[in-house]
Amino acid sequence: MTNHWIDIRNSDYILAMGSNPVKNHPISFKWIMKAIEKGATLISVDPRYTRTSRKAQVYAPLRSGSDIAFLGGMIHYLLENKLYFETYVREYTNASFLIHPDFMLPGDNQGVFSGLKGTETTEGFIDGKYDKATWAYQRDDKGNILKDKTLQDPHCVFQLLKKHFSRYNLEIVSSITGTPPDKLLAVYATYAKSGAPDKSGTVLYAMGWTQHTVGTQNIRAMSIIQLLLGNMGVAGGGVNALRGESNVQGSTDHGLLFHILPGYLKTPKAGQETFAAYNTANTPQSADPLSANWWRNYPKYSASLLREFYGQEVALEEAYRYLPKIDAGVDYSWLTIFDLLYQEKFKGFFAWGQNPACSGANCNKGRQALTKLDWLVNVNLFDNETASFWRGPGMDPKQIKTEVFMLPCAASYEKEGSLSNSGRWMQWRYKAVDPPGKALPDADIVNALFQRIRALYKAKKGVFAEPILKLRWEYGPKDAAGKVTHIDPHRVAKEINGYFLEDKVINGKLYNRGTLVPGFTSLADDGSTSCGNWLYCNSYTQEGNMSARKNKDDPSGIGLYPGWAWSWPMNRRILYNRASVDLDGKPWQPEKPVIEWHLNVWKGDVADGGWPPLASGEKSRYPFITQTEGHGHIFGPGLADGPFPEHYEPLESPMEKNLLSAQFISPVLKRFDRSTTSDVNLRASHDPRYPLVCTTYRVTEHWQTGVMTRWQPWLAELEPGMFVEISSELAAEKGIKTGEIVIVKSARGQLEAVAMVTVRWAPFTIAGKTIHQVGIPYHYGWVTTAERKYAANDKKPQVFTFGDSANIVTPNIGDANTMIPESKVFMVDVVKKA
Amino acid sequence: MGMDRRQFLKTTCATVSGVTLGALGFDLAPIAAYAASLRTLHARQTTTICPYCAVGCGILVHTIDGKVVNTEGDPDHPINEGSLCSKGMAVYQLSHNNPARITTPLYRAPYATQWKEVSWEFALDKLANLIKKARDASFEMKNAAGQVVNRTMGLASLGSAALDNEECYLYQKFLRALGLVYVEHQARI
């Protein structure tokens, strides 16, 4: 979230699209209700009439997978009717920037942007990759970007935007989305009102936007709308992802992904042979003195990270050599891991606090892949489908070689530590009780394993042992042999914050060696500071553990609570807040100011840098400080699939063709269905065997694959099992009644579900044709069912659940930028169980 | 945590009766008497944050003699102000109160048909050896193009948004020291 949960109360127009907060983030709805009580309007756009829709003043349905068409129509509407916030657009976004004259839009180029190299088929291009040379800004000979502040030049971003989205008129949008034109207009007209300078609009999205082959572009489309309406940086505004795991923000911040190290530093690539080459490749340059270009500080953060990893005994260059490197242009993400696993490319596999046998798309393939491992380790609180995969449906344990370790860990309140919520609040939590039996905190399991591995490398020969032998690991008390016996989370939190490794004078103040760094502006690129994650620098200082603070004062009046817990970066509660003021530093919204320039200082939230407002000239900086050029990206030249969003159909679609262009699906997808393992990556698009659009969703009582909810009798009783929700029209057509057991099947697998006939689903009319959509919840698995065999020493649930994972039917195809799977739209059929 | 429930009640009752009783015109003594009968009376109170979605609601955990006797929404927490959804309410059944928790390491040998309970020493010693063996066998100093890569190709990891920040940091550091490049977790799904 650019903003935070409580801030939703400051909003005037709230768009819940790609999310269902009433059901999935129930407590967030407290803040939506507070906004509504003050006069805000809630808009719900969802394929199904959800509980959030029930509470909304405006509701519009759309066919799953047509969000870009829907939002593209809104962009068209805002531009046609001049409802955008002109000063904001001109001064704070890249609308005025000129783009390469050879740049071509999909409308003029067979449905794709200029620069695509790919294979042409009857579905358009496939296996494509963009050469982005024509997506570049025009520059003068000093490297300054050419601009037209009148926004009239035909090559400027604003005019290109207008031209691109002129194709998204009401008629075509309605025929793609299935949304009646009057409902489209109701949403557009209502949300457009947030473009008034003193009004704010927020978008609340979740996996309904990310889990698509065009997921990133769904969010880009909305980001463009938020920039056009001046909704970034203000109270009650922002682009807000309602994240679904208690610490998925923190786990991402700390780099548990193949492409990033902690603090969003890049994983080194082969070819970046020296630390200097690595830093150069990742440190952007800006010729514009008014651009803060925050990532220019990259070498300070990378050097401080290496110091935390390997200490002062190891030269930075040597420490850099120890880091593993990835090949440029090669994908190492989840779907690829499972594809390689299926091809027996791995020996061992850690599923740590995860249940991929249920959470991975096309999980029949995933479960088969696990049988090809030599060994698997699963760390969890309860038995689950991953740990016990070898005795699941269709498995014969006597044929499965995999050695499996199931390690019991501590639950949230059986240990101490912090987590970061969706609003970037780092909150400290305390230990209430010891874990049951021999269960241990995850940190202690990591430690115990690391100590043993290090001991092995000390005792015996091993390949490239230095990174293991020299790793700094000063996180707790040690035994006589010098091994850490127990992890002290405070020590880790301090190392993440960072230390001065030498005495230093900064702005006339002496900081002694061995003291905690007060904030990331004090980090250095010469190895004189350590810091595990620059974004968390300032979270644990000489003043103490900031995330444990519980001061409820709110001098801002807008619910910032600066003394409660801590928010990254630097306790800033609303990101891009320099965009919440005009060029003189006066808030656009004086009733709910985030920051204000007053007597030569910023008042309010921690400003995005202390520089004076833009009107003060060269000492100032543009508001979007993490963008190299300092401006919000209406044109996004860095993405894999286009600088503007363009509607493409999902991998599996009910449509015969894309009504907007000759390009059927995104041309730059990694297509497992066309790979060597295509027999397990099946696709059935516009196929009479699978005529129904299917989507997946969550229920309040269960969480993710259900490992932490299916075993709780209260929750299992409330939501006992797999169902498929279908419209009364479809039910009548198929003769299905509520409560009957039916089969939901896709090209990849099938599962049993209880039919639930509701009026929440209504058939769509798409280009004159009736299209039905159905929905299934995600959370179930065979381990907690009554039908399976329980051995004498197996744990048995007090209340059984029914059914298996929705991922048995989902496709393993990823978004072009993120490789997040398209779990929100695919094709199925629903039939009565024989 | 400096103050237990009892002290908290004492303090607030003293403050309230001393300062506002006259102003409000009613007596809080019956409420105090009712509170005194609560099962949390002698409990130790700690605060925690809900382990489910990422709203980050505050929860109070009451324990007596190392056992959880009550969990409830933290009324002082500014996000949830004491409210919880059904999952947040059910954290009560996440700890000792749930007999289904796995309480000892389990091991499944190749081709075995059931789990065997094992010691931590057994599990960790065996795992450490397997990790070293797989790492040593699959380590690449250079890629096909001859560029330095120093990475382990035979191991992959998924995990985890269910860990605390400090654990996430340690876990990724551990994996990267081993040379893993196939490092992923829930954020990718």
Within 10 angstroms of residue A140's Cβ, the number of other Cβ atoms is: 9
**Within a domain: residue A659?**
no
CB-CB under 8 Å, B151 with A325: yes
B16 DSSP 8-state letter: I
Residue A9 has which token pair?
């109360």
Could you tell me if A149 lies within 8 Å of chain B, comparing CB atoms? no
Q: Report the amino acid identity of residue A727.
A: S
Would you state the pLDDT for residue B11? 45
The total number of structural domains in chain A stands at 3
pLDDT along chain A (834 residues), means of 10: 98 98 97 98 98 98 98 98 98 98 98 98 97 98 97 98 98 98 98 98 98 98 98 98 97 98 98 98 97 98 98 98 97 98 98 98 98 98 98 98 98 98 98 98 98 97 98 97 96 98 96 98 98 98 98 97 98 98 98 97 96 96 97 97 98 97 98 93 97 98 98 98 98 98 98 98 94 98 97 96 98 98 98 93
Phi and psi at residue A292, to the nearest 5°: -65, -30
**Within a domain: residue A614?**
yes
**Within a domain: residue A501?**
no
Q: Which CATH number fits domain B44-94: 3.40.50.1820, 2.60.40.10, 3.40.50.970, 2.20.25.90?
A: 2.20.25.90
Would you state the pLDDT for residue A834? 85
* Domain definitions of chain B by residue range: 5-37, 44-94, 106-188
Residues A31 and A88 in one domain: yes
Would you state the pLDDT for residue B24? 53
Q: Does residue B2 surpass a pLDDT of 90?
A: no
Q: Which of B57, B94, B181 sits opposite A708 (nearest CB)?
A: B94
Helix axes A489-497, B165-178, angle to 10 degrees: 70
**Closest residue in A to B1 (Cα–Cα):** A430
Residues A353 and A207 in one domain: no
**Within a domain: residue A204?**
yes
Q: Which residues of B touch A327 (CB under 8 A)?
A: 143, 145, 149
Would you state the pLDDT for residue A497? 98
Query: Which residues 132-171 on chain B approach chain A with CB closer than 8 angstroms?
Result: 132-139, 141, 143, 145, 147-171
Distance CA A191, CA A631 (A): 23
Would you state the pLDDT for residue B36? 58
Q: Which residues of B touch A715 (CB under 8 A)?
A: 86-87, 90, 93
Q: Report the amino acid identity of residue B27.
A: D
Within 10 angstroms of residue A244's Cβ, the number of other Cβ atoms is: 23
Which among A316, A251, A92, A401 is positioned nearest to B166, based on CA atoms? A251
| CB neighbour class for A138 (10 Å; exposed up to 12, middle 13-18, buried from 19) | middle
CA distances from A646 to A69, A163, A263, A739, B90 (A): 8, 12, 31, 41, 43
Tell me the DSSP string of A287-349.
--TT---GGGGHHHHHHHHHHHHH-TTS-HHHHHHHS--BPTT---SHHHHHHHHHTT--SEE
Distance CA A575, CA A564 (A): 17
Could you tell me if A302 lies within 8 Å of chain B, comparing CB atoms? no
CA distances from A818 to A174, A258, B143 (A): 28, 11, 24
Mean pLDDT, range B155-170, rounded to an integer:
97
Which among A801, A711, A251, A353 is positioned nearest to B95, based on CA atoms? A711
Residues A608 and A751 in one domain: no
**Within a domain: residue A24?**
yes
Give SS3 for A597: strand
Distance CA A323, CA A321 (A): 6
Q: Strand A769-771 relative to strand A403-408: parallel, antiparallel, unpaired?
A: unpaired
Residues A36 and A174 in one domain: yes
Annotate A645-668 with b (16+ C-beta within 10 A) or e (fewer): bbbbbbbbbbbebbbbbebbbbbb
Q: Which residues of B touch A712 (CB under 8 A)?
A: 90, 93-94, 98
Annotate A458-473 with b (16+ C-beta within 10 A) or e (fewer): eeeebbbbbbbebbbb
**Within a domain: residue A653?**
no
Alpha helices in A167-274 (DSSP H): 170-177, 181-192, 207-210, 215-228, 248-253
**Closest residue in B to A254 (Cα–Cα):** B169
CA distances from B7 to A430, A663, A834, B28, B41 (A): 19, 69, 64, 16, 10
**Within a domain: residue A340?**
yes
Q: Which residues of B touch A24 (CB under 8 A)?
A: 53
Residue A793 has which token pair?
């020493």
**Closest residue in A to B113 (Cα–Cα):** A397
Q: Quote the domain boundaries for residue A213.
A: 1-99+147-246+571-648
In this predicted model, what pLDDT tens digit does every residue of B41-79 receive, in sequence order?
889 999 999 999 999 999 999 999 999 999 999 999 999
When scoring B115, B169, B178, B181 by the number of chain A Cβ atoms within 10 A, the one with the most, hence best to mutate, is B169
Which among A732, A726, A735 is positioned nearest to A754, based on CA atoms? A726
Q: Find the CATH number of the domain harbouring A622.
A: 3.40.228.10
Could you tell me if A301 lies within 8 Å of chain B, comparing CB atoms? no
Would you state the pLDDT for residue A753? 98
Contacts of A501 (CB under 8 A, 6+ apart): A307, A312, A513, A527, A528, A529, A530
CB-CB under 8 Å, A256 with B168: yes
For residue A157, give the H/E element and its range.
helix A157-166
Residues A236 and A91 in one domain: yes
When scoring B101, B104, B151, B175 by the number of chain A Cβ atoms within 10 A, the one with the most, hence best to mutate, is B101
**Closest residue in B to A271 (Cα–Cα):** B147
pTM of model > 0.80: yes
Yes or no: say if A765 and A178 are a contact pair by the CB < 8 Å rule. Answer: yes
CB-CB under 8 Å, B52 with A251: no
Q: Which of B88, B123, B176 sits opposite A405 (nearest CB)?
A: B123
CB-CB under 8 Å, A354 with B186: yes
Contacts of B102 (CB under 8 A, 6+ apart): A380, A381, A382, A383, A406, A408, A439, A795
Q: Does residue B14 surpass a pLDDT of 50?
A: no
Could you tell me if A359 lies within 8 Å of chain B, comparing CB atoms? yes
Distance CA A476, CA B185 (A): 26
Yes or no: say if A19 and A206 are a contact pair by the CB < 8 Å rule. Answer: yes
Q: Find the CATH number of the domain harbouring A372.
A: 3.40.50.740
Q: Which residues of B touch A432 (CB under 8 A)?
A: 44, 46, 48, 61, 63, 68, 95
